[in-house]
A and B are shown apart, each in its own frame.
Chain A
Amino acid sequence: KAGVTQTPRYLIKTRGQQVTLSCSPISGHRSVSWYQQTPGQGLQFLFEYFSETQRNKGNFPGRFSGRQFSNSRSEMNVSTLELGDSALYLCASSLAGTGDHEQYFGPGTRLTVT
């Protein structure tokens, strides 16, 4: 079974631009979560989607948004990019929305903002 895939793997953007990252979960997984990983702040939860609905949101500004499609694929968008948004963005999928199910992580998208 294929793992979580994320595209693109690397991205360079300029301050003020916006960016969209994509995540395809493991087949059959309906919950998708997004995390930001930086050297300074570590791994931080952004948001979680289940059945096309955002169920949970971390402490990030409104410039960070996401959505989930009916096939469980998810996208996250960052508008008006800042230098501090440079990070590895990780997507994780889980089998179901509730119950004891672990999350499987993708390889991440490395975003560099110049």
Chain B
Amino acid sequence: AQSVSQHNHHVILSEAASLELGCNYSYGGTVNLFWYVQYPGQHLQLLLKYFSGDPLVKGIKGFEAEFIKSKFSFNLRKPSVQWSDTAEYFCAVTPYTGRRALTFGSGTRLQVQP
């Protein structure tokens, strides 16, 4: 069975700082990778996704992530965070079988201070 590790549980940054959240997965086959965000009081929203092709994917709100297959990693980045980025971020993976069973990481709570 696959698993996802998010090493940073709680990150505190000042506005304009750069962000990188780590995500590693364990699965021997081809995977689809996702980052979801949950803003306070809101439902899960898709930030970005990787299915195939260019390993550097760009998502909404200036976020991007890089899939490094050799490291089983899919780290999320943003060059300059804003107070409105305060939220919980979840990395998720599903095997490339067409099934929809997402395996989520434990989440990273990001707090951006103005």
Interface residues of A (CB under 8 A from B): 31, 33, 35, 42-45, 48, 50, 55-56, 58, 90, 92, 94, 97-100, 102-108
Q: Given A43-B90, A102-B34, answer yes or no on A97-B102 (Cβ-Cβ < 8 Å).
A: no
Mark out the residues of chain B between 16 and 45 whose CB falls within 8 Å of any chain A CB in the assembled complex.
32, 34, 36, 42-45
Give the dominant DSSP class at B's interface: loop
Residues of chain A within 8 A (CB-CB) of B36 are 105
- Complex A-B, nearest 6 residue pairs according to Cβ-Cβ distance, in ascending order: A98-B98, A43-B104, A105-B44, A100-B51, A107-B43, A45-B101
Query: Which residue on chain A has the smallest CB distance to residue B98?
Result: A98
Q: Which residue of B lies closest to A104 (CB)?
A: B46
- How would residues 90 to 103 of chain B score, 1 for a CB under 8 Å from any chain A CB and 0 otherwise? 10100000111111
Given contacts A35-B104, A56-B100, 4 further A-B contacts (CB under 8 A): A90-B44, A99-B98, A103-B46, A105-B36
Q: Which residues from chain A contact B107 at a C-beta distance below 8 Å?
A: 42-43
Contacts of A97 in B (CB 8 A): 98
User: Could you say which residues of chain B place their CB within 8 Å of the CB of A104?
Assistant: 46
B44, closest chain A residue (CB): A105
Q: Which residues of the other chain, A, contact B51 by a CB distance below 8 angstroms?
A: 100
